[in-house]
Amino acid sequence: MQTNAAALNSQVNSKKRNSSSLTDQLRSYLRHPGSGILAFLTGLAAVLTFAVLIFLVGYILIKGIPYLTPELFSFEYNSENVSLMPSLINTFIMTVLTLVIAAPIGIFAAIYLVEYAQKGNRLVKVIRITAETLSGIPSIVFGLFGMLFFVTALQWGMSLMAGICTLVIMVLPLIMRTSEEALKAVPDSYREASFGLGAGKLRTIFTIVLPSAVPGILAGIILAIGRIIGETAALLYTSGTVAQVPNLMGSGRTLALHMYVLSSEGLHMNQASATAVVILVFVLVINWLSGKAAKRIAKG
């Protein structure tokens, strides 16, 4: 009985404390109206962002879910049943392969910029400028370049490989820039401690610096995944639009291209809407998976 009362008492107390801190906060905003306005604006911006997000997702779900039939997932595509299975598999292949190539290059480049390059080095300047330039190039220009270079000049034809290489160039600056920021954010004391313990530079980088930078690097990779999955303009001219699961030198479409192709003539708008739902789920799953992977890396 007594303990109960004590518990109750403490609960009441904590509630009082909470509400008093809230009123304190409000009172402080009255004293500093500038701060109050900023806090309000911050909240407003967040509400706006998430309202738009909910609206967008709601729109996609409402438009797409009614048309999400099991036939859409059959393995064969034909003009009667515009199955999205081949494109789903292609999207997966392209995302994984693009990251397998682009992530190491991007992260290594960031390591060079942060850990090795001297400040004011001319090469570093050139690399920075080119990376920023790359990140600003519109995807349609990547598409044109991919067609001129990989498809025509290298004679690869419209193929997954040409698409992957184009995507690699496209997401490279994204991964590079975010990894660089993540590496920079690792406190120097970590490195010094590691050197102090007698570890070499390479060892320090791979066992101390990289693991602590994983969340930041991951943010970049997730952005990259988003771009890969959502890309149409660059792939239209490089990977082509055949609805099949090809080998690497054959042509195949990704989900976004599938959606583009279905909607462009207005003949399969409903299936295109359903595809949008699948893309959404796909992005969710991949983000979740990469989150898991990052946790494991950070731990190990």
**Cβ neighbours of 254 (radius 10 Å):** 30
At closest approach, how far in Å is the CB of 137 from another protein?
Answer: 6
At closest approach, how far in Å is the CB of 20 from another protein?
Answer: 17
State which of residues 97, 210, 276, 278 lies at the interface with another protein (CB under 8 A): 276
Phi and psi (nearest 5°) for 187? -60, 145
Using CA atoms, how far apart are residues 47 and 44, in angstroms rounded to an integer? 5
Using CA atoms, how far apart are residues 121 and 252, in angstroms rounded to an integer? 43
At closest approach, how far in Å is the CB of 256 from another protein?
Answer: 4
Which is nearer to another protein, 73 or 288 (by Cβ)? Answer: 288
186-205 residues near another protein, rule: CB under 8 A: 187, 200-202
115-134 residues near another protein, rule: CB under 8 A: 115-117, 123, 126-134
For residues 140 to 159, the per-residue mask of contacts with another protein, x marking binding by CB under 8 A and - elsewhere, is xxx-xx--xx-xxx---xx-
| Polymer length in residues for the chain | 300
Using CA atoms, how far apart are residues 10 and 2, in angstroms rounded to an integer? 12
State which of residues 74, 92, 96, 263 lies at the interface with another protein (CB under 8 A): 263
At closest approach, how far in Å is the CB of 78 from another protein?
Answer: 6
State which of residues 26, 269, 289, 293 lies at the interface with another protein (CB under 8 A): 269
Residue 249 tokens read as 């030198």
Q: How far lies 179's CA from each of 119, 183, 191, 201, 273, in Å? A: 18, 6, 17, 18, 35
At closest approach, how far in Å is the CB of 170 from another protein?
Answer: 9
At closest approach, how far in Å is the CB of 4 from another protein?
Answer: 28
State which of residues 8, 41, 100, 289 lies at the interface with another protein (CB under 8 A): 41
The set of residues, in sequence order, having a beta carbon less than 8 Å from that of 201 and lying 6+ positions away, is 115, 195
For residues 64 to 103, the per-residue mask of contacts with another protein, x marking binding by CB under 8 A and - elsewhere, is --------------xx------------------------
Using CA atoms, how far apart are residues 281 and 145, in angstroms rounded to an integer? 31
Using CA atoms, how far apart are residues 241 and 244, in angstroms rounded to an integer? 9
160-179 residues near another protein, rule: CB under 8 A: 169, 172-174, 176-178
State which of residues 135, 191, 211, 297 lies at the interface with another protein (CB under 8 A): 135
State which of residues 7, 22, 58, 293 lies at the interface with another protein (CB under 8 A): 58
Using CA atoms, how far apart are residues 23 and 283, in angstroms rounded to an integer? 42
Residue keyed to tokens 């060079």: 112
Residue 1 tokens read as 């009985």
Using rule CB under 8 A, residue 24 touches another protein: no
